[in-house]
Structure 1
Amino acid sequence: MMQALLGTLLVLTGCLALWVAGAALARSLREGLVLAVAAGAVVVAVGTELLSLVNGLRPLPVAALWALVILVSGTIAWRRRGQLTRLARRSLGAARSARRVAMGMALAAVALAGSTLVVSIAAPPNNWDSMTYHMPRVAHWAAQGNLDYWSTGIDRQLWTTPLSEYGILHLVLASGTDRSANLVQWVCFLCAAMLASLIARQLGLGGRGQAIAALVVMTTPMALAQAPTTQNDLVVGVIVLAIVSICLRRPRQQVWADGLVLAVLGAASFMAKPTALIVAPFGLLWVWRQLRLSPARLVPVGLMIVVAFAVMAGPFLARNTAEFDRPLGPSEYQTTVRSPGLVPTVENAVRLIGVNVGTPRPGLNGRISRAIREGMTKVGLDPDDPRTTYPGTRFDVPFGRSEDITGNALLLILTTTAGAVTLLRRDLRAKAGVYVGLLTAATVTFCVVLTWQPWINRLALPLALLSAPVVAVAAIGVLPRWPRRVLVAALVAASLPWAINIQVRSLVGSASVLQGDDTAERFYARPPLFQPYVTTLAQLRKSGQSRFGLVQALDDWEYPWWALQPAGPAGNPAMMPVDITDTPATAWEDAGFEVVVCTRPCTPPTGWTARDMGAGVTLVSR
């Protein structure tokens, strides 16, 4: 318990120290946060790679790394303590003003942050992707002490971009528990709200407008659903917001400072998730502004981008190339549109809107789905176009409070209305017209590049975060005080189901994470697996083996085989799960296995006994 607390505090204190140092350098809390995001990405990406070289992905080396971060950041802050003192005074003055201006919004933000924090700490990782590849890769790295690839039937554990999981790895190693794993996304949830308010300030809004932008982020259903998970779209969103905030700055006399931060954030965005490509239109704005001053300004920036990508992403891309002969991993995953064009883009845009208009009534959702499908067909569009649809999926209008399919209907309406009003009103167009245009271009980029997938709303979360300042601009520019208060109250009220009753991570009811069994909570997303996994692990412990084989399908749950075991002498599971999916059954005995667990159909070799444990789990032993 003490290690969990101290280790978690060590890493979080390191993050806070980076922010304080960034604020001292930037002379601004929120602009300092931009620097902290960039510096944190370097620490996590480069630090993990360096420790991996010496098999140092262990608790003590990771703790030493974050102690060094605190020391260096503290030294920077101490040397600039005068500036920090002045910044603290200004911030306190601003806080007193904000107390009169936006007390209600501040209380709502605290409540939303608090509820998601409680869930983050109380609930173990239990969403589908965490069980399949996010957390298993963390478990493998921790067991190995390095980032070397391993044999697996779930190759997404290897080739998907790993920045978020690197952060989770640091927290898990330092704390000794996976209860800290959800904190990566939760911290990014708070950072996203602050960076959205920074962008609102850059668009000319005062305290009220900045507070509204922050609250829009914190009441976005998908953000609330993802905050207490080990997904990675809030990580992507924070990096995208940080990049946008730099792109909106006026060009400085010396371009190298912004250029260096942009280069680091660009590499970090790739390492977080390629969906960060939506930031490209904002990057083009920054490049155009630099070109107007002098094309030569971009030469050092280009060099910094190359170096940043080589240092931060190079080792990961090299491992992918060695394993799959492609730096981006195997080619069979169709996540990008095969033949981009106007028709595929329109198809994706219509379906993106469609998945955001779901209601709690399944019958109504079915009628909406049929109406959209029939309407698309009548105008020559294919709702299930194989060029633009993830293989094996079909367009439908869902509804739920999970981090995969949660819609953002109210935000969609507000953003569309706010964008139109901003472009129609001359005064608002002068403030945010360019931003609305770039946000539109980012949305088009998203629809041009990515295939439609049932979980597309999760991938679109960075777009939702970028829309918050637009809503704030229109709210301040158009609405009188009382209608604006009604809007704020509506946002908070509409977000409550996601704040307290997220699917599989609820604060209320019989399945509350505050009163549930830790083991059972891990299976809330797939209850039928609970008993077979627990029973199989009990049988494995009776076997007395130090390891067991795993034969898995692409989307099977591997992580419970790690998480539900007591720790061995070195902190690893008492029985090591070893994926032997690619090992012929006839070679199991030669490989030294006495017992194998199959979560997909398998044929035991002669002389082995197979026992059906239920839910597709088979225990095979000699």
Structure 2
Amino acid sequence: MLVAPTRLLLIRAGVVFGTAAVLLVELLSAVHLLNRPTVIVLWALAAVLVGFFGHKRIFGLWGAFREFWASADRLERVIALVLGGLFLADLVIALVAPPNNFDSQTYHLPKVEHWAAQGGVGFYPTVIDRQLAMAPGAEYILLHLRLLTGGDSLYNLVQLAAGVFGALIASRITAQLGGARRAQLVAALIFGTTPIVALEATSTQTDLVVALWVGAVATLVLDERERRTPWPAIALLGAAAGLTLLTKATGLLAAGPLLVWWFATLLRRREWVRAVAGTGIVVASMALIAGPYLWRVETTYSNPLGPDHLRDSISMQRHDPASVLINALRIGETALQTPAGPVGAGAIRSLAHAVGVDPDARDITYWGATYPYKSWLPDEDRVSFPVQGALILAGAVVLAWRRSPARVYAALFWVAVLAYVVMVKWQPWGNRLIVFLVLLGTPLAALWVEPLLVYRRRWVVRATAAVLAIGALAGTAAVAGGWPRRLVGSGSVFTTSTMDQRFIRRPEWGSDYRWAADAVNASGAKRVGIIEGYNSWEYPWWILLKGDDLVSLQSLQPDIPAPPIASVDAVVCVDPPIGCWFYIPQEWHPQTQGSVTYAIRPVS
């Protein structure tokens, strides 16, 4: 018998949607039909088919909710209202606020504009090679929204949908591990109110998206634990793994052990043919989804994981026990940090020196970063989650030792944690990179916490409820006053102009960008060259110079040369003036304000 069939239906639909979005992008790009009219027609047909064949199931969702509400007790209703209210507030922010994440300004969103402009996802000249080498799974979905709407007004909804579906997946995994309805609601509450989740749910980052696909792998694997799923379900499992790889390779640190467990389960049941054929289906599905992108990266950088400097900046170069221990402790402290600040950081640094490890060494620390870092502030890139994190770790420890259906799952969670601290360096914004571990660990927290809510000693019940309430308040406060999108306070999405919100991370840049864009627009230039640094914001040019043909005049790709400056009508440059003047001929009379320089090609 299927566990939580309605949620399984929604999860499968999500995987099908993600797979279709990716395959359509690759196919239309290959046949030079990746444009707005084609995408509108295809999604209109898809909407008609879904409405015709799935309308009964869609209406059935409302009936399922009414049935739940009628049978729910007071605590269950409170949990549902808190979670629903938080996601509703996120929805308001997602619709009102423009995308303004720092990384999105540099490489997440510019790549979408390049694809839309050139009508394909082939590589192009750029000095920001993260636009090419960083996995594009989430951006493929954004590209559909870009072509459907002509802008970025719906971009934030992708991560919000991933957050909502993540809560559904957490609740279903809890049910698969034996948790009753209240435990399932507790799992959804813990995940949905985690501050990093609540803040990223209105962002164009990609961490919630990869967490969604890792969670889909987990729940589909658990379906195979007690029964033989149909062959199409195995194809969906492979699709979820492929989407994980295409969105962020670190997700495979958790999806990989889960797939190994699935394979071992088939061997233990002596289903040899199913194990071999199923593995072939999974591998083929992953290759179909992620293969074209990996091939482009391989042919450009001679490595499917991208250029050496990019890989080395993120992955650990030392794997001795002492280095791994210090890395794990720093990651844990940063994730569990309270408003008291990095209290245990001094002890960690002292231990590092005692075991012969430099806690700021480049081979175990992101380049240019220094440990510790104040991570408790409600910032979407780095906010800590001490309440939810402590509950997850405690639940994972208890259930790993307790004889229960969750024991093996808890062990797999620890394998994923170990793989992460062995492979990924500490970095100030590392809390957002472990969102997929938060999703996997949430069911373990719920299975441990829920029995305490009905414990015979009243003080235990009250203390447990208080901890959950504090965690929920932390998530609510993050949504209300978090950064860079907040409901109340200075910089509120309701009191700050759309353009000012786009530059809210660097307000001093806003006037410089607009000054240069106004001059270029007034000149009548149609083809504009971009010169920038490795961490410059490229995306604002695509907003301010809308309708123009923008090209990069720099390239880090030896086989993709940049066009000559003589081929453009104007140039905009974000760099120190001396760097801009290196590229721009003096007869173009470059003008500089702040960190921005522009120049207009002189009339012959």
- TM-score (norm: length of structure 1): 0.88
2:354 maps to which residue? 378
Check the 8 A contact 1:251/1:290 in 2, yes or no.
Answer: no
1:267 maps to which residue? 242
Check the 8 A contact 2:207/2:432 in 1, yes or no.
Answer: yes
For the residues of structure 2 that align with 1:599 and 1:193, how far apart are their CA atoms? 40
1:351 maps to which residue? 330
Q: Aligned match of 1:595 in 555, 570, 594?
A: 570
2:458 maps to which residue? none
Check the 8 A contact 2:326/2:348 in 1, yes or no.
Answer: no
Cα deviation digits, residues 200-257 of structure 1 (max 9, x gap)? 1111111111100000011101101111011111001111111111222224345624
- 1:85 deviates by 8.3
Q: Aligned match of 1:287 in 263, 272, 275?
A: 263
How has the CA–CA distance of structure 1 residues 252 and 368 changed in structure 2, closer, same or farther, with 3 Å as cutoff? closer
2:553 equivalent to 1:576: no
Q: Which amino acid aligns with 1:161?
A: A
For the residues of structure 2 that align with 1:270 and 1:291, how far apart are their CA atoms? 25
1:22 maps to which residue? none
For the residues of structure 2 that align with 1:595 and 1:97, how far apart are their CA atoms? 66
- 1:589 deviates by 7.1
1:395 maps to which residue? 371
How has the CA–CA distance of structure 1 residues 599 and 85 changed in structure 2, closer, same or farther, with 3 Å as cutoff? closer
For the residues of structure 2 that align with 1:491 and 1:521, how far apart are their CA atoms? 28
Q: Aligned match of 1:491 in 459, 471, 487?
A: 471
Check the 8 A contact 1:55/1:144 in 2, yes or no.
Answer: no
2:384 equivalent to 1:411: no
- 1:422 deviates by 3.2
2:513 equivalent to 1:540: no
2:311 equivalent to 1:336: no
Moved over 6 A (4+): 83-88, 587-590
Q: Which range moves more in the overlay, 26-35 or 85-94?
A: 85-94
Check the 8 A contact 1:188/1:235 in 2, yes or no.
Answer: yes
Cα deviation digits, residues 497-535 of structure 1 (max 9, x gap)? 211112121111131111211111100011121110010
For the residues of structure 2 that align with 1:35 and 1:620, how far apart are their CA atoms? 52
For the residues of structure 1 that align with 2:564 and 2:137, how far apart are their CA atoms? 37
How has the CA–CA distance of structure 1 residues 68 and 574 changed in structure 2, closer, same or farther, with 3 Å as cutoff? closer
**What secondary structure sits across from 1:355 in the alignment?**
helix
Check the 8 A contact 1:213/1:471 in 2, yes or no.
Answer: yes
- 1:471 deviates by 1.4
2:70 maps to which residue? 96
How has the CA–CA distance of structure 1 residues 309 and 413 changed in structure 2, closer, same or farther, with 3 Å as cutoff? closer
Q: Aligned match of 2:433 in 453, 459, 473?
A: 459
How has the CA–CA distance of structure 1 residues 349 and 177 changed in structure 2, closer, same or farther, with 3 Å as cutoff? same
1:231 maps to which residue? 205
1:56 maps to which residue? 33
Check the 8 A contact 2:104/2:204 in 1, yes or no.
Answer: yes
Q: Which range moves more in the overlay, 311-320 or 224-233?
A: 311-320
How has the CA–CA distance of structure 1 residues 579 and 588 changed in structure 2, closer, same or farther, with 3 Å as cutoff? closer
Q: Unaligned 5+ residue runs, structure 2?
A: 456-460, 557-561
**What secondary structure sits across from 1:115 in the alignment?**
helix
For the residues of structure 1 that align with 2:105 and 2:62, how far apart are their CA atoms? 43
Check the 8 A contact 1:595/1:620 in 2, yes or no.
Answer: yes
For the residues of structure 1 that align with 2:472 and 2:349, how far apart are their CA atoms? 33
Check the 8 A contact 1:354/1:397 in 2, yes or no.
Answer: no
- 1:494 deviates by 2.0
- 1:581 deviates by 1.9
For the residues of structure 1 that align with 2:316 and 2:216, how far apart are their CA atoms? 27
Cα deviation digits, residues 146-181 of structure 1 (max 9, x gap)? 112211111111121111001111112212221111
How has the CA–CA distance of structure 1 residues 606 and 442 changed in structure 2, closer, same or farther, with 3 Å as cutoff? same
For the residues of structure 2 that align with 1:320 and 1:348, how far apart are their CA atoms? 29
Check the 8 A contact 1:358/1:397 in 2, yes or no.
Answer: no
2:523 equivalent to 1:518: no
1:569 maps to which residue? none
Q: Which amino acid aligns with 2:352?
A: M
For the residues of structure 1 that align with 2:520 and 2:426, how far apart are their CA atoms? 41
Q: Which range moves more in the overlay, 291-300 or 589-598?
A: 589-598
For the residues of structure 1 that align with 2:256 and 2:363, how far apart are their CA atoms? 23
- 1:489 deviates by 1.8
Check the 8 A contact 2:177/2:406 in 1, yes or no.
Answer: yes
How has the CA–CA distance of structure 1 residues 437 and 27 changed in structure 2, closer, same or farther, with 3 Å as cutoff? closer
Q: Which amino acid aligns with 2:554?
A: T
Check the 8 A contact 1:27/1:84 in 2, yes or no.
Answer: no
2:153 maps to which residue? 179
**What secondary structure sits across from 2:406 in the alignment?**
helix
1:559 maps to which residue? 539
Q: Unaligned 5+ residue runs, structure 1?
A: 1-24, 566-572
Q: Which amino acid aligns with 1:579?
A: S
2:176 equivalent to 1:202: yes
1:421 maps to which residue? 398
Q: Aligned match of 2:113 in 139, 144, 147?
A: 139
For the residues of structure 1 that align with 2:26 and 2:451, how far apart are their CA atoms? 48
How has the CA–CA distance of structure 1 residues 394 and 245 changed in structure 2, closer, same or farther, with 3 Å as cutoff? same
Check the 8 A contact 2:167/2:188 in 1, yes or no.
Answer: yes
**What secondary structure sits across from 2:256 in the alignment?**
helix
**What secondary structure sits across from 1:597 in the alignment?**
strand
How has the CA–CA distance of structure 1 residues 484 and 552 changed in structure 2, closer, same or farther, with 3 Å as cutoff? same
For the residues of structure 2 that align with 1:253 and 1:331, how far apart are their CA atoms? 42
Q: Which amino acid aligns with 1:272?
A: T
For the residues of structure 2 that align with 1:270 and 1:205, how far apart are their CA atoms? 30
2:134 equivalent to 1:160: yes
**What secondary structure sits across from 1:382 in the alignment?**
coil
Check the 8 A contact 2:3/2:176 in 1, yes or no.
Answer: no
Check the 8 A contact 1:98/1:207 in 2, yes or no.
Answer: no
Cα deviation digits, residues 21-70 of structure 1 (max 9, x gap)? xxxx9981111122112201211110111121233332222122222323
Q: Which range moves more in the overlay, 316-325 or 529-538?
A: 316-325
For the residues of structure 1 that align with 2:152 and 2:306, how far apart are their CA atoms? 27
How has the CA–CA distance of structure 1 residues 288 and 589 changed in structure 2, closer, same or farther, with 3 Å as cutoff? closer
Check the 8 A contact 1:347/1:382 in 2, yes or no.
Answer: no
**What secondary structure sits across from 1:511 in the alignment?**
coil
For the residues of structure 1 that align with 2:85 and 2:59, how far apart are their CA atoms? 29
